[in-house]
Chain A
Amino acid sequence: MTDHILRMSGITKTFPGVKALQDVNLSVRRGEIHAICGENGAGKSTLMKVLSGVYPHGTYEGEISFDGEPGRFSGIKDSEDAGIVIIHQELALCPQLSVAENIFLGNERSGRGLIDWNRTNHEAAELMARVGLRESPVTQVADIGVGKQQLVEIAKALSKRVRLLILDEPTAALNDEDSAHLLDLLRGLRDEGITCVIISHKLNEIIAIADSITVLRDGQTIETLDMAADKVTEDRIISGMVGRPLEHRFPPHESSIGEEVLRIEDWTVHSPAQPGRKVVSGASLTLRRGEIVGLAGLMGAGRTELAMSVFGRAYGVNISGRLFKNGTPIELRSVQDAIRHGIAYATEDRKRYGLNLIEDIRRNISSAGLRRMGRRGWVDENEEYKVAEGFRKSMNIKAPSVLSVVGKLSGGNQQKVVLSKWIYTDPDVLILDEPTRGIDVGAKYEIYTIINRLADEGKAVLVISSELPELLGLCDRIYTLSQGRVTGEVLRSEATQERLMHYMTMGQE
């Protein structure tokens, strides 16, 4: 009988309209490094949120047993008391506080209500030595790099006497050296008896470090592989991650491709947060009339950054490169410029960047195209209503009326509002960033149909997606992006998931 520190069985988590997890099982042996693999949206993060109590007991079905005890966590505090610590992809540190203060945040070393600074800094130094962080405990977290910040998070976890450490994409933002150091550290922690669960897209890392792997796909457990017993290769994992049938998920479509509409040449973008770091480097793409082009890439490959920087420099600094619209060079200095030149960008995060959630459908649809609707600066409200009503019917937005508030619609219907808003600006080029994220299968099919219709109307569509089957089912041509570089261009007829994955991981060591 194997000694399992964690058993999650029959976990089902439903959001209205979407089954995020369906009967998922996960068993982690004591003292191992257990990797969880799956595409974006496969349910990895949801599963970890169930485990750590972010989704409290009672909001999901299924049982958790941690160290032989039933785990019924009603919040993160509960799970941390039990010894489960999760380190999120976006680090939860206070940049203005010192390393030592961050390590003991919420867990302060104090006597009689006053912080004992000597003890704080002394114990912090010990923990920092354990994780190999060579900095002074009083250094501000803002002054150290992302790699070292990651170590601060781990030191913080150690200070809580962690027994199960969960790391969500810990190396996504790290360079090779920092990644290697982190992986060494995890091996060291394993030898000290700390069990680790690691979520990562970097399969080479997983193969190097994991003792066993659980593959999730579409919210279900596909398999658990034992690295020692099974002969596991990257291809083996990929086929588990992507191996789903493709029939009937996409409406049939035959594109009639015309002349070039938009050409992006030698496009380079620097990060505004870390000047000097290139997030897109020397990328060149061509979009043609009536064509649906895909843009594939792993997290952090620079897809959104590329799209938003082209869309009137809505992202990035120090942008260089050339843009050609219908063969003529153009400059897009602002979003207004981009809209005027017939370019539309529908964001990947519709709630944060795409919609005014407290406003109604009508005013959201008109918001980017008011210039078209306005006469001498005044809005024709009846025209506005008519336009919105037209989109409600043609896009099949399910709402009692166009006066319904957008924040109350489902993800799929919100996405249709975003698309309507951009279609109303009458663009030649539509860049759709993760157009089907967080929406259910039926609504996805509708979105695909709309995308096909746009292409039939002669528009060029660039679809950014993390779901390879979606790109394969939808696009005429697919570009792959890896670490800001275009690493491949594949025609639909030649594209396979394995081939795309190969290009997408190019240069990632």
Chain B
Amino acid sequence: MSSVSPTSVAVPPQDDGPAEPPGRLSLGGLSVNIRQSGIYIAFALIVVLFTVLTDGALLQPQNISNIVVQNSYILILAVGMILIIIAGHIDLSVGSVVAATGAIAAVLMVNYGVPWPAALLVTLVAGGLIGAWQGFWIAYFGIPSFIVTLAGMLLFRALTLTVLGNQGIGPFPDAVRTLSNGFTDGYLGNVGLGPLGGADVFSLLVGVLAVAGMAAAQWRTRAARARYGQTVDPLPVFALKVAAAAVLIVAVVVQLARFKNLPWVLVLLAVIVLGYSLLANRSVFGRRIYAVGGNLQAAVLSGVKVKSVVFWIFVNMGVLAGMAGIIFAGRLNQAGPTAGGSFELDAIAAAFIGGAAVQGGVGKVVGAITGGLIMGVINNGMSLIGSPSEQVMLVKGIVLLAAVAFDVWTKRRAGAASR
């Protein structure tokens, strides 16, 4: 029976009147989509919870810096992973790729004395080639990504051991360690912030510029939308949202400035998040990722080169895994044979906690970052209050399950409302 032959079934159409979208909460004119914002609310609650439990230690300057640095490589992986999950695939190999690329970087710099910029470039290219290898089998040969990357998990662990000769290699050049672990210099000296003590002027300046840039970009977007007759938030609501975001950025930056200036990985992360958010939302390529995950058949019949899209998101994942590999190795100052163990699970969990759908087609870069931070805060907060590791795992497992259960539940309600 050919799959395209028409059936004589009268296709039951779905409901005719567009109903109030379910899962929306009205708070005095401020309408919030729970399904989309739930993750941010949850993040805020978790931060508040651990701030209380740790008597404020969670938000101390040094600890904020720690959370960023300790989770940076998972967050970078989560950005690559969310694109793959949006396209309806999965990558189980990223932990091994982190180890393999870290090993390559170490051998190049430590054993062969290759200058660090060249070594980093070669490592990123190696990551890309690893991604291309997996992308080829998945996109062009048609093997499910689960299988290809499960094999990759073993293959690239084997590659790691071979490259390292079964032993850790280090130490790394200072530049690499600074990227992973270091902070921006106090270019402009310090300034007193009254009761908060001294803080780095340069970091504060960056924070102020970030806020200004964010506000300007939001304002321009809003103005353009209004010009095209789209509905936009009323001015007070808009101002409130921007102000809230500004307060958040300033608070984090001030705390960081009071400690040791800005961690370099934070700068890198900010660039990655910004760049990939734009890629996902505004680029033709990004749109195609959503199209492939949302309805593969429809994407094919709309002229999307599905194979090429899938291939390139795996190449991209390889490059980002290479970046994470360098940062992780640089942080430990050693590339080890067991590096990156279970990173893939953390990255996948971050994506799903951040609102990605198991069937694909849904997800946001910022969501994945928030999902990663939720796990990071749980890790950090629980270790601050001295919880044993089995409790940390228990809580993280429950959070992951709850996040996906919430997603399924809101979707089912949406489905029921449209029937």
Contacts and interface: CB of A to CB of B under 8 A. Distances in A.
Given A355-B295, A379-B284, A345 B1 contact: no
Given A356-B294, A382-B224, A438-B12, A345 B6 contact: no
Contacts of A353: 295, 297-298, 301
Contact of B298 (A271, A355, A374): A355
A456 interface: no
A415 to B, nearest CB: 10
Chain A CB within 10 Å — which of B10, B230, B295, B304 has the most? B10
B interface residue count range (under 10 / 10 to 19 / 20 to 34 / 35 or more): 35 or more
Contacts of A311: 301
Nearest to A47: B10
Contact of A18 (B10, B288, B300): B10
B4 interface: yes
B5 A410 contact: no
Interface string A394-429: 000011110011011111111000000100000000
Contact of B14 (A339, A409, A421): A409
B302 A381 contact: no
Interface stretch (A206-214, A363-371, A472-480, A488-496): A363-371
Interface in B277-293: 281-285, 287-288, 290-291
Interface stretch (B15-23, B204-212, B326-334): B15-23
A345 B230 CA distance: 30
Contacts of A199: 8
Contacts, number: 185
B294 A466 contact: no
Interface in B331-360: 357
B2 A305 contact: yes
Contacts of B5: 172, 299-300, 304
Interface string A117-139: 00000000000000000000000
A interface residue count range (under 10 / 10 to 19 / 20 to 34 / 35 or more): 35 or more
Contact of A90 (B1, B15, B224, B304): B1
Interface in B227-244: 227-231
Chain A CB within 10 Å — which of B2, B224, B230, B290 has the most? B2
Interface string A359-393: 10001001110110010011101100110010000
Contacts of A304: 4-6
A125 B138 CA distance: 43
Given A357-B295, A378-B284, A17 B16 contact: yes
A505 B225 CA distance: 56
Nearest to B11: A438
B2 A15 contact: no
Contacts of A370: 284, 287-288
A348 B300 contact: no
B231 A401 contact: yes
B10 A347 contact: no
A305 B13 contact: no
B305 interface: yes
Given A40-B6, A408-B18, A385 B228 contact: yes
Contact of A399 (B18, B282, B285, B294): B18
Nearest to A21: B10
Nearest to B411: A358
A414 B15 CA distance: 11
Contacts of A363: 287, 290
User: Chain B interface secondary structure, helix, strand, loop or mixed?
Assistant: loop
B418 A407 contact: yes
A234 to B, nearest CB: 19
A319 to B, nearest CB: 14
B285 to A, nearest CB: 7
B8 A314 contact: no
B298 A407 contact: no
Contacts of B284: 370-371, 374, 377-379
A242 to B, nearest CB: 15
B282 A359 contact: no
A273 B1 CA distance: 8
Interface in B14-58: 14-16, 18-19, 21
B302 A466 contact: no
A15 B295 CA distance: 25
A367 B287 contact: yes
A43 interface: yes
Nearest to B230: A385
B356 to A, nearest CB: 12
Interface in A130-188: 146, 168-169, 172-173
A399 B9 CA distance: 26
15 contacts: A15-B13, A18-B12, A89-B1, A314-B300, A353-B301, A356-B290, A356-B294, A358-B361, A368-B303, A389-B229, A400-B18, A408-B15, A413-B16, A438-B11, A440-B13
Given A374-B284, A437-B11, A438-B11, 19 more contacts: A15-B10, A40-B8, A44-B8, A89-B1, A279-B2, A299-B5, A299-B8, A304-B6, A334-B303, A352-B298, A354-B298, A358-B357, A359-B290, A378-B282, A378-B283, A405-B21, A413-B16, A438-B13, A466-B8
Closest 8 CB pairs of A and B: A438-B11, A411-B13, A356-B294, A15-B12, A410-B16, A368-B302, A374-B284, A335-B303
